[in-house]
Structure 1
């Protein structure tokens, strides 16, 4: 049986930064911002601090930290793997990376035709 494709993954630097934030703030969660106040940044919150809706999509976990996106945005990004990285700069005003001098950044790559076919067979859940 083929292994599941990851819709969201992270660089080693992002995972290290995530662990630093987890040590400071406890359990965390991510929500991929859709472009309102903070552009399209991956926003990091304490677990349960961001109210998810019934239509939000759980893309996967980053080292045990759940990552979500709104369903309308997912419709545009469903053929793309999100790669969460960390760079110098200011985070989103509501994100835990704000004020650290570093911020999470979403990079991406398109899934291949073969990967897209495999993904169609795998359900994406809330």
Structure 2
């Protein structure tokens, strides 16, 4: 079982964003408002905090998560999905009418 996966619909949205914005990066911090929300940014000029660790890639896009969350989720598979509607974030997909979300399940 892979540590980081994405649904087919999430990959479709990622590919759309790559076409429109070029190189991307995902960041999942531990902030009070965005703790389980993957936020997608253009990678050019985006600063990655030393408090984030790379846990893998989805659709060729690096996915960073807060060190403490990574420890908490070390036995979990992370599934990135997308839903229609605007999320409350600065993530690129919100302008397209989508919102990324993170689900997790125990790795067997």
TM-score (norm 2): 0.88
Gaps of 5+ in 1: 113-126
Which has a greater percent of strand? Answer: 2
Larger RCO, structure (CA 8 Å, separation 6 or more): 2
Question: Structure 1 pair 94/49, CA: closer, same or farther in 2 (3 Å)?
Answer: farther
Larger-gyration structure (1/2):
1
Q: Is the 8 A contact 1:43 1:92 kept in 2?
A: no
Consecutive unaligned residues of structure 2, counting only runs of 5 or more, are none
- In 1, distance between residues paired with 2:25 and 2:88? 14
Count of residue pairs the alignment pairs up: 108
**What is the RMSD of the two structures over their aligned residues, measured on CA atoms?**
1.6
Residues 25, 46 of structure 1: 8 Å contact kept: yes
Residue 26 of structure 2 corresponds to which residue in structure 1?
A: 30
1:6 has 2:15 as partner = no
Listed as ranges, the matches of 1:40-55 within 5 Å are 40-55=36-51
Q: Return the alpha-carbon distance in structure 2 between the equivalents of residues 35 and 53 of structure 1.
A: 13
